[in-house]
Structure 1
Amino acid sequence: MDLLWALLTLPYAPVRGLTAVVGVVAREAEARQRNPVNVRRELEELDAAAAAGHLTPEERDRAEQRVLDRLTGGVSRQRPPERRPAGEGGVRDVRRRRPGPAT
């Protein structure tokens, strides 16, 4: 049965091979991207660019956060929107009320 299956799926062999190669390349790229040595090198390059005046402190902080997020696999930290009381044009908690028992 395995021989028959192999013969029937033979035309798809190049696709399976390409899929395997793409998987290996993707794993290698991710490993290099998360390699602490490469992350440190990128952080040092950011520091050098900031020291040379090519980056503002805000740009450097954003770029540094992206590099660190890539290392840790986290999502970049963004400030949540400010909430104001409902009477001042802010966000108000509006929830649907479930119908309760008839009284």
Structure 2
Amino acid sequence: MGILSGLLSLPLAPVRGTVWIAEQVLDEAERQYYDAGALRRQLEEVALARDSGDLDDAEADALEEQLITRLIEANRRSRESHG
């Protein structure tokens, strides 16, 4: 039955491959989006931009809030994956 089921499911191989690739891309995108080191660097950049006057307080506050929210989620994900 293994050969028969393999032959019958062969037309679905491209779909399974495409799904696997999409999952890999999503995993990598999430890894980069929630990278704690990158988020901390971005927070530092926002602080520097605020200090230099490139960002006003409202813009900087909004960016910091978004980055801190992502950093909290990154820490939660890290705790969940480590036990």
TM-score by length of 2: 0.77
CA distance in 1, matches of 2:55, 2:42: 14
Shift of 1:35: 1.5
Q: Which amino acid in structure 2 is aligned with residue 39 of structure 1?
A: L
- Large movers: runs of 4+ above 4 Å: none
Map 1:33-72 to 2 at 5 A: 33-72=33-72
Q: How many residues align?
A: 73
Q: Which amino acid in structure 1 is aligned with residue 18 of structure 2?
A: L
Shift of 1:66: 0.5
* Residue in structure 2 matched with residue 21 of structure 1 by the alignment: 21
Cα deviations by residue, 1:67-86 (Å, 9 ceiling, x for unpaired): 1111223xxxxxxxxxxxxx
Shift of 1:3: 1.9
Gaps of 5+ in 2: 74-83
Q: Which amino acid in structure 1 is aligned with residue 62 of structure 2?
A: R
* Residue in structure 1 matched with residue 8 of structure 2 by the alignment: 8
CA distance in 2, matches of 1:38, 1:52: 21
Shift of 1:34: 1.3
Q: Which stretch has the larger CA shift, 50-59 or 60-69? A: 50-59
The higher relative CO (CA closer than 8 Å, separation ≥ 6) is in 2
Give the structure with the higher percent helix. Answer: 2
CA distance in 1, matches of 2:9, 2:62: 49
Cα deviations by residue, 1:16-73 (Å, 9 ceiling, x for unpaired): 1111111112112111221111011111111121122121111111111101111223
CA distance in 2, matches of 1:14, 1:31: 26
Based on CA coordinates, which of the two structures has the bigger radius of gyration?
A: 1
Shift of 1:2: 2.4
